[in-house]
Structure 1
């Protein structure tokens, strides 16, 4: 979903400055379909404040992550205009309305005739990352998903999960057997980064990613391998700042048999 038009010079400005960004929704005969908050503020249905407009756009994109992205060269997020109500689009685009584009998964995998599939299933991004051995940093903002896995929206609702909080990685090694085996698929809730006793988390230390069960003890974290052949790791309080909790493992998918 990259745009061929260079928007690197566009930045968000406060409404009080009396200025807006160079419009990104038109460029000669080509219509650009991504806008930032300052371009939307004050149009039909939106407040004049960039800040409140930004919050409203963020809420609209909660369940449609493929319709928001960082604007290249800035810290601002931009949003596809199809997120906006019809009257707001018409105000922005001179009476035009743009329909929601297909997600990358739909474009590459699903025929248009199967678009209704997405009404029942959410597509969770999977990243080519293995945990339990050092394989680089898990920085979602700097990685492109290598694939998407489908999960029923009813299941997400039953578990209380928001689609935007979930990512998928893969396990490596035997330190968590028999709970997690080599190459098992792990669904990670990145919003749960304050570990609770007994749950399994993905941790990062320097460039190493690993998966362990967490236990709180006096003055330390105890990171436990379910495989008894591996000794627990005790992380003292003064060392804990060196570790990042990426998220909680909330689902494990595995193959059985040959």
Structure 2
């Protein structure tokens, strides 16, 4: 998410704040793949608040793991592990052990998405 943007989208700061989004840390990404369908589809525009790095169950996050950038639901477990979930049932949940949690970077929370009709 640190790459220079190729395109820009304008959002009013008041609109962002009314949705709990920090305007100075908002970023726009394009979703790729089908793992989050039916919620998020390939090509959808994602508005991400990069100031949010704490997990709230059932929210959707941008997760960086090594070279992979994923858009997934993340659930915290009582034992300190994380469950990474896709909305598409074709993709099984993945468990991240407590010892590997530090290898994940929660790069932000998806706060809004849009698509062409």
Shorter-chain TM band: over 0.9
1:154-165 matched pairs, under 5 angstroms: 154-165=14-25
Partners of 2:6 and 2:104 in 1: how far apart? 26
Q: Which runs of 4+ in 1 moved over 4 A?
A: none
Residue 225 of structure 1 corresponds to which residue in structure 2? 86
Is 1:255 the counterpart of 2:116 in the alignment? yes
In structure 1, the partner of 2:44 is: 184
Gaps of 5+ in 2: none
Higher relative contact order structure (alpha carbons within 8 Å, sequence separation ≥ 6):
2
What's the RMSD between the two structures over aligned residues? 1.2
When the two structures are aligned, how many residues end up with a matched partner? Answer: 116
Q: Which has the higher strand share?
A: 2
Cα deviation, residue 218, structure 1? 2.8
TM-score, with normalisation over the residues of structure 1?
0.43
Q: Which structure dedicates a bigger proportion of its chain to helix?
A: 1
Q: How does 1:52-67 map to 2 (within 5 A)?
A: none
Does 2:66 match 1:209?
no
State the 1:144 CA deviation: 2.2
Instruction: Name the structure 1 match of 2:57.
Output: 197
Deviation string, structure 1 residues 237-258 (Cα, Å, up to 9, x no partner): 11111111100000101122xx
